[in-house]
Structure 1
């Protein structure tokens, strides 16, 4: 758990693919945003229960955001939506590929969920057409960037050998992430360990040259 002044960030690694599920809880309202209901609903329920036990306010999942439409990021989505009543959100271009109906098609800009931690939507096209990252700007410390499968330690996400998709993704990650956010920004990817923009920035040209 990351305990910030206004928000707590919890995470779980689930499934055989080590998908990361993130839960942001407002300390003042108890309202929550869940990022990527990937798999293992029981483990996610345990995370929700831990957040409930630690919160001074009654907790409620108000929104479940899917960073992109790939099957391994949505396996628990239907079950958790039915249990929590949360609204769903995903990048506009990915909505048709997600079986669970999407309430909020996302474009770049603020994600407006009343009472929840304020997030900014960043479109990072290439891994899928509608992939999004979500930025939480901590007023008292580094920003936290939830990148789905678009940015990892060591490179951008898989573009499956498509040069055009790679060019789009590396351009978006450069212009919309590295060019505008500071080095201390903490990256929370869709699988595996996190990193910072400062640790990855020196390697951007290397990624461009290798093409993945």
Structure 2
């Protein structure tokens, strides 16, 4: 069936974008940990490709909607792909925002992370990987797990905010570095939010109903 083949092709293109974005997030984390401005610039330069792919995929989805007028499951798939496409593009943008902070850190006096960056970044990267795996396999249980994991990332970010506020009082000379790290934490937290959106759209594909803002799915 022509429509089915086109939808499968669109899904593969979405997963290709997902793989690039996943790598962008990984490089962003490494650039921050290593204070590596060259690696950060690589992430920034790569964002153009993601933007172009996002636009091309959106146009292809709209063409399929206009020409084939899909129904039921096929319609849900295209709608979900459109939404996930946007979320992946935003995650790519946030990876760029985070790497820009890495460039700032290179120019600043080194200070210790005011929070457990490793735990937070690993949690966010795991969520992103699992959300894409859930999409590949239409695995609702894994998607629900991703959604539940978002609370832990939110809790870490809230703790970062409190820690930075305390450190600003103790070490006002490090205000620039501390605020930079707070920004990094915020970008990671927002990546987790968009990853949760992707997982919720997988649940939408499987169940057929929108689950955003519904705690009972967890």
When normalised by structure 1's length, the TM-score is: 0.29
| Structure showing the higher strand proportion among its residues | 1
- Higher helix proportion: 2
- Larger relative CO (CA 8 A, sep 6+): 1 or 2? 2
* Higher Rg: 2
TM-score, normalised relative to structure 2: 0.29
